[in-house]
């Protein structure tokens, strides 16, 4: 083949190669062709080899460089979770996710995790956007900026904002103080505590505990609406705990198990009282309501109070012993007292007198007490008439009224009080009996005696022996039947015995 012909053929093949090559390759080939043309035959073989070597090398270099791409390692809190070809893939997903959560909860959310990207250039670098997003979705911690309510160092709950937390506290204060919200005003307080509402007319409302509000990031589910936060503060919980009665349960046992009191159970379950018999399977509300804050109300109140009158006792030698009479009626005085009252959650815990003024002085009641001793007049306080034990009391017995008490024993029977004997002898079912009139509307009867030591008209003193215990009349054994008749009606003697 002629060199010119061969050169033309080589140029045509080279041209086609050059058209598919990079700028650098084209320049190298063109220089090679120029060199061949210059030296023609002498350098034909060398030129052809050089041309091919240069072209192939340049082509390989271009192919390698054109396949080098940037990939991005995605890390969450320092831990790699996938590889993407562009950080915007993650940014777009994050924005969409936050918008989605905001629509659900109505809160301004943030991605609390720390997401970083590390770029790397690799030949035919591998990435998987879909796998990276899935991994991110599985661990993404989406949180809301909230206000943490802390009471005495303990986290109580989270509110959407400081305003929401303050509203919940205000509702709690109103609930326990009874002061309407529209009457509550803010007052200046120490920076470490919450603004306390102050009502007019000298009433101060505050929360006893140290209450603080702090910013925090939490999951949306942890943020409580105002009503739930208020319920938590005033009750200690908004979850009801129920106990199912099992064999052997009692109210006190159940209360001890849940760390509450029996009163808590009665308060939570209106149908249950101290006398209620619990049933197997019965559901009992054992929720312990313990407010997490103490609403303290300090107020000044003025009250009009009565001043009790004193009673003065004077002896009257002309008045029979055991009698008394009122010489001057007593009358209460009155005073105006100004108190500082402290209430905690509605209960008065302190009441301090600030000032008091007497409006009217009380009038003393004067009573004269008789000291004159009249042998036939009783004192009204009865001594035991015999030694022994009560074998039968006052009341219904064998279908009829037993009018006195039976004292089983033996020995002397004595007058229960001073008096005059009005009856002494046989008295039907009573057998041998004595009736004494004590001159003060009271009489005493002594029945079933074995013997009588007094006669009608005798004046006896308290404790004087009047007979001996026996079993006469309607009697089943030795004993004393003792009756007390006051103003014509039988009474239970035990009420008067000293």
CATH number of residue 426's parent domain: 2.70.70.10
pLDDT (0 to 100) of residue 443:
97
Within-domain flag for 384: no
- Among 26, 45, 66, residue at a domain's last position: 66
pLDDT (0 to 100) of residue 185:
46
pLDDT (0 to 100) of residue 366:
96
Q: What is the pLDDT of residues 37-50, one digit of tens each?
A: 555 545 455 555 55
Q: Residues 206, 258: one domain?
A: no
Within-domain flag for 382: no
Q: What is the pLDDT of residues 353-405, one digit of tens each?
A: 999 999 999 999 999 998 887 788 888 889 999 999 999 999 998 889 999 99
Mean pLDDT value of segment 461-488: 95
Q: Residues 277, 328: one domain?
A: no
For 377-396, the DSSP string reads S--S-BPPSSSSEEEE-SEE
- What does each C-alpha distance from 54 to 13, 34, 210, 319, 439 come to in angstroms? 14, 14, 84, 152, 154
pLDDT at 435 over 90: yes
Q: Residues 81, 20: one domain?
A: no
Within-domain flag for 380: no
Within-domain flag for 291: no
| Range of the structural domain that residue 219 is part of | 146-235
Within-domain flag for 350: yes
| Mean confidence (pLDDT) of the chain | 83
Q: What angle do CA 52, 56, 57 make, to 5 degrees?
A: 115
Q: Residues 126, 171: one domain?
A: no
pLDDT-derived band of residue 198, with 50, 70 and 90 as boundaries? Answer: very low
Within-domain flag for 292: no
pLDDT (0 to 100) of residue 107:
63
Q: Residues 408, 477: one domain?
A: yes
Q: Residues 410, 475: one domain?
A: yes
Q: What is the pTM of this model?
A: 0.46
Q: Residues 406, 478: one domain?
A: yes
pLDDT-derived band of residue 412, with 50, 70 and 90 as boundaries? Answer: very high
Q: What is the pLDDT of residues 85-99, one digit of tens each?
A: 999 988 888 888 877
pLDDT-derived band of residue 475, with 50, 70 and 90 as boundaries? Answer: very high
pLDDT (0 to 100) of residue 182:
57
Q: Residues 400, 485: one domain?
A: yes
Per the CB < 8 A criterion, the answer to whether 159 and 229 are in contact is yes
CATH of the domain at 366: 2.20.230.10
Q: Residues 39, 124: one domain?
A: no
Torsion of CA 15, 16, 19, 20, to 10 degrees: -140
What does the alpha-carbon distance between residue 432 and residue 445 come to, in Å, rounded to a whole number? 11
Q: What is the pLDDT of residues 63-93, one digit of tens each?
A: 666 778 889 998 888 889 899 899 998 888 8
Q: Is 308 exposed, middle or buried (0-12, 13-18, 19+ CB in 10 A)?
A: exposed
Element (H, E) at 42: none
């Amino acid at each position: 083949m002629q060199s010119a012909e061969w050169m033309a053929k080589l140029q045509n093949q080279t041209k086609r190669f050059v058209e598919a090559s990079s700028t650098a390759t084209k320049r190298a080939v063109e220089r090679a062709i120029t060199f061949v043309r210059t030296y023609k035959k002498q350098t034909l073989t060398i030129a052809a080899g050089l041309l091919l070597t240069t072209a192939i090398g340049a082509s390989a270099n271009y192919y390698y460089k054109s396949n080098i791409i940037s990939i991005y390692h995605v890390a969450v809190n320092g831990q790699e979770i996938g590889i993407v070809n562009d950080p915007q893939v993650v940014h777009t997903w994050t924005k969409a996710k936050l918008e989605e959560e905001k629509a659900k909860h109505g809160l301004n959310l943030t991605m609390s995790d720390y997401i970083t990207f590390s770029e790397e250039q690799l030949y035919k670098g591998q990435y998987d956007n879909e796998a990276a997003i899935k991994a991110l979705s599985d661990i993404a911690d989406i949180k809301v900026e909230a206000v943490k309510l802390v009471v005495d160092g303990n986290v109580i709950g989270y509110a959407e904002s400081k305003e929401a937390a303050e509203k919940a506290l205000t509702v709690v204060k109103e609930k326990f103080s009874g002061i309407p919200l529209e009457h509550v005003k803010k007052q200046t307080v120490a920076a470490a505590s919450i603004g306390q509402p102050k009502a007019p007319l000298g009433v101060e409302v505050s929360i006893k505990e140290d209450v603080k509000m702090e910013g925090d990031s939490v999951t949306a589910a942890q943020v409580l609406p105002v009503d739930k936060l208020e319920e938590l503060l005033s009750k200690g919980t908004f979850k009801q705990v129920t106990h199912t009665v099992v064999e052997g349960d009692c109210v006190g046992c159940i209360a001890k198990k849940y760390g509450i009191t029996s009163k808590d159970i009665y308060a939570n379950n209106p149908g249950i009282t101290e006398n209620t018999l619990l049933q197997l399977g019965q559901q009992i509300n054992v929720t312990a309501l313990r407010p997490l804050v103490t609403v303290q109300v300090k107020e000044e109140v003025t009250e009009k109070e009565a001043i009790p009158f004193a009673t003065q006792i004077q002896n009257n030698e002309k008045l029979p012993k055991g009698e008394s009479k009122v010489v001057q009626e007593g009358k209460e005085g009155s005073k105006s007292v100004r108190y500082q009252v402290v209430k905690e959650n509605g209960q008065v815990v302190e009441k301090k007198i600030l000032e008091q003024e007497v409006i009217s002085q009380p009038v003393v009641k004067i009573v004269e007490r008789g000291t004159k001793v009249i042998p036939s007049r009783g004192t009204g306080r009865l001594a035991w008439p015999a030694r022994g034990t009560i074998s039968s009391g006052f009341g219904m017995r064998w279908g009829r009224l037993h009018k006195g008490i039976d004292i089983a024993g033996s020995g002397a029977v004595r007058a229960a009080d001073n008096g005059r004997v009005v009856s002494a002898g046989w008295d039907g079912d009573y057998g041998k009996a004595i009736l004494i009139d004590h001159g003060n509307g009271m009489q005493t009867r002594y029945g079933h005696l074995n013997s009588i030591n007094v006669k009608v008209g005798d004046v006896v003193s308290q404790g004087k022996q009047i007979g001996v215990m026996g079993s006469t009349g309607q009697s089943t054994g030795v004993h004393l039947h003792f009756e007390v008749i006051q103003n014509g009606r039988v009474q239970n003697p035990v009420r008067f015995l000293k």
